[in-house]
Amino acid sequence: MENLYSKTANELLQKLSQKEITLDGLVVSLNERLKNVYASVNAYVRFDPVRGLTVDKPEKDGPLHGLPITIKDNICTRGFETECCSKILKGFKPPYDATVVSKLKNAGAAIVDTKANMDEFAFGSSTENSCFGASRNPWDTNTVAGGSSGGSASAVASDAAIWALGSDTGGSIRQPAALCGVVGLKPTYGRVSRYGLIAFASSLDQIGPITKDVRDSALLLQYISGKDQFDSTSVDVPVPEYSRCLGMDITGVKIGIPKEYFVEGIDPEVKDIVEEAIQKLRQLGAQSARVSLPHTKYAVPVYYIVATAEASSNLSRFDGVEYGHRSRSKGLGMIEMYKKTRGEGFGQEAKRRILLGTFVLSHGYYDAYYVRALKVRTLIKQDFDKVFSDCDCIVTPTSPSASFVVGEKSQDPLKMYLSDIYTISVNLAGIPAISIPCGFTKKGLPVGLQIIAKPFNEEMLLRVAYAYEQATPWHAMKPKL
């Protein structure tokens, strides 16, 4: 008999609702799986192998019937640790739940009490910046899981989680999903409440699902979407029934293929696999056209100004007063206490980003860097507006390469930043995108296909992604662990 842990959320939900299985049985199954894989993938942090995973059982039954969900370490879960995988938040137990967590609890989900690994404060593309060490890719544990939601993606890919929440500021859901061979969706900015998501870049961050298939993605998105009185940037647009678009024909859907995403810098193997996937979409009835997003090459520099500026401001709250680490040095004045606490608590990448962000916002550099970046952001958004006046969606690779060996890029920040080159523009424009598995390299590493749609048209993403998924075998493949 197939193990419970290897099943999708929708399959398990059916079994739970018909009382074929129990939540306790499901947790036992997950723990059996974890016993074999936790050390090799390092997807969960603060995990005690003796105790195993436990879940916060829902107070009342609901449509999710106790289905366990894994949560990234930057999303607040009341009463159990949420540390953003940073030493500076050591021991932080939030006194409240993030809105996405309370929504899931209200729907009857069981929250897994051990959180998923991530790059410190979501700063990174490999989880190598986690204070708990890097998560590994289940397809080859010498390689990275991607990041920053690498723990969520490797947990789902290795069947150590049924499904998971991640967060995406410049690709942090889609890139690890692509590298681990699972499905990751970044909703439109404002679709999902950010209340209780520990902020990295407030104008870019979104929470979204990381799942084993597209049907699960639609289901999870359903339960986390909607306007929230605690997040003034969440938008009051009706939440459609996402599962309805699954199975809809894609005949006549107009797909734009941006030429700037297939030039120098892309791994030729990835290029071939993605072009084959586009061919498949054509066979399924979609029409494709070459389009242009001329400001693509400026997206990474714009991002590293806007995101670090916002991060430097957001991270000023970690000062050793209200929560987390405080320097033990004696006899410090207030300012020295702040400086020592922050110097001791933040990792290297966090320090780099705080410095860069503070610099671009500082007197004398503000106009040359920050304001200029905001203007180029307008041009990037206008590129998408133009393409979407004629196309229903855009299809690209999610990442220029498959997973890379641990340590390969960690000493070269700029090289690491460039691994997000295909995902960053989407956050700058605030639009939704999904990454789905579309094949494997000769070395057996997964490759992701990114589909991008107009604001609040997640249905288009799910419709095209589901049509592709049903016509291909990739999503059903499992790593040997």
Partner 1 sequence: MSISKETIEYVAHLARLELKAEELDTISGQLKEILGFIDTLSLLDITDIPATSHILPVHTVVRDDLPGASLTPDEALANAPQREKDFFGVPKVIE
User: Among 57-65, 104-112, 349-357, 444-452, which window interacts with partner 1 (CB under 8 A)?
Assistant: 349-357
Query: What residues from 409 to 428 belong to the interface with partner 1 (CB under 8 A)?
Result: 413-414, 417, 428
User: Quick one: 68 or 196, whose CB is closer to partner 1?
Assistant: 196
| Cα 459 to Cα 218: distance, rounded to the nearest angstrom | 9
| Cα 352 to Cα 218: distance, rounded to the nearest angstrom | 37
The reply on whether position 232 binds partner 1 by CB under 8 A is: yes
Query: What residues from 150 to 179 belong to the interface with partner 1 (CB under 8 A)?
Result: none
Q: List Cα–Cα distances, 124 to 79, 268, 301, 413, 414, in angstroms.
A: 27, 24, 15, 9, 11
User: Quick one: 338 or 474, whose CB is closer to partner 1?
Assistant: 338
CB 297, CB 187: distance < 8 Å: no
Point out the catalytic residue in the list 172, 225, 234, 419.
172
215 SS3 class: helix
Binding mask 308-337 for partner 1 (x = CB under 8 A): ----x---x--xxxxxxxx-----xxxxxx
The reply on whether position 39 binds partner 1 by CB under 8 A is: no
Least Å distance, CB 151 to partner 1, is 23
| Cα 330 to Cα 221: distance, rounded to the nearest angstrom | 49
User: Quick one: 36 or 362, whose CB is closer to partner 1?
Assistant: 362
Q: How many CB atoms lie within 10 A of CB 370?
A: 19
The reply on whether position 481 binds partner 1 by CB under 8 A is: no
Point out the catalytic residue in the list 7, 72, 212, 454.
72
User: Quick one: 134 or 311, whose CB is closer to partner 1?
Assistant: 311
Query: What residues from 94 to 133 belong to the interface with partner 1 (CB under 8 A)?
Result: 95-96
The reply on whether position 429 binds partner 1 by CB under 8 A is: yes
Q: Which of 163, 213, 202, 176 is nearest to 30 (CA)?
A: 163
CB 185, CB 432: distance < 8 Å: yes
Q: How many CB atoms lie within 10 A of CB 252?
A: 9
Residue 186 carries which side chain, given as an amino acid letter?
A: K
Least Å distance, CB 364 to partner 1, is 10
Name the DSSP letter for residue 177. H
The reply on whether position 71 binds partner 1 by CB under 8 A is: no
| Cα 448 to Cα 178: distance, rounded to the nearest angstrom | 4
Name the DSSP letter for residue 371. I
User: Quick one: 22 or 232, whose CB is closer to partner 1?
Assistant: 232
User: Quick one: 158 or 425, whose CB is closer to partner 1?
Assistant: 425
Among 351, 390, 443, 478, binds partner 1 (CB under 8 A): 351
Can you point out the beta strands (E) in 85-153?
Answer: 110-112, 136-137, 140-144
| Cα 168 to Cα 360: distance, rounded to the nearest angstrom | 23
Among 229, 252, 283, 389, binds partner 1 (CB under 8 A): 229
Q: What are the φ/ψ torsions at residue 255 (nearest 5 degrees)?
A: -110, 130
Q: Which of 445, 478, 470 is nearest to 214 (CA)?
A: 470
- Catalytic: 148? yes
Query: What residues from 274 to 313 belong to the interface with partner 1 (CB under 8 A)?
Result: 297-298, 300-302, 304-305, 312
User: Quick one: 313 or 472, whose CB is closer to partner 1?
Assistant: 313
| Cα 75 to Cα 243: distance, rounded to the nearest angstrom | 25
Residue 136 carries which side chain, given as an amino acid letter?
A: R
- Catalytic: 271? no
User: Among 104-112, 166-174, 192-200, 343-351, which window interacts with partner 1 (CB under 8 A)?
Assistant: 343-351
The reply on whether position 355 binds partner 1 by CB under 8 A is: yes
Q: List Cα–Cα distances, 164 to 51, 173, 285, in angstroms.
A: 21, 10, 32
Beta bridge partners of 77: 80
User: Quick one: 47 or 456, whose CB is closer to partner 1?
Assistant: 456
- Catalytic: 72? yes
By CB atoms closer than 10 A (0-12, 13-18, 19+), residue 254 is middle
| Cα 281 to Cα 292: distance, rounded to the nearest angstrom | 20
The reply on whether position 203 binds partner 1 by CB under 8 A is: yes
Binding mask 362-401 for partner 1 (x = CB under 8 A): x-----xx-xxxxxxxxx-x--------------------
Among 35, 244, 348, 390, binds partner 1 (CB under 8 A): 348
CA dihedral 236, 451, 307, 296 (to 10 degrees): -130
Active site residues: 72, 148, 172
Interface residue list for partner 1 (CB under 8 A): 91-93, 95-96, 189-190, 203, 229, 232-233, 235, 297-298, 300-302, 304-305, 312, 316, 319-326, 332-340, 342-344, 346, 348, 351-352, 354-356, 358-359, 362, 368-369, 371-379, 381, 413-414, 417, 428-430
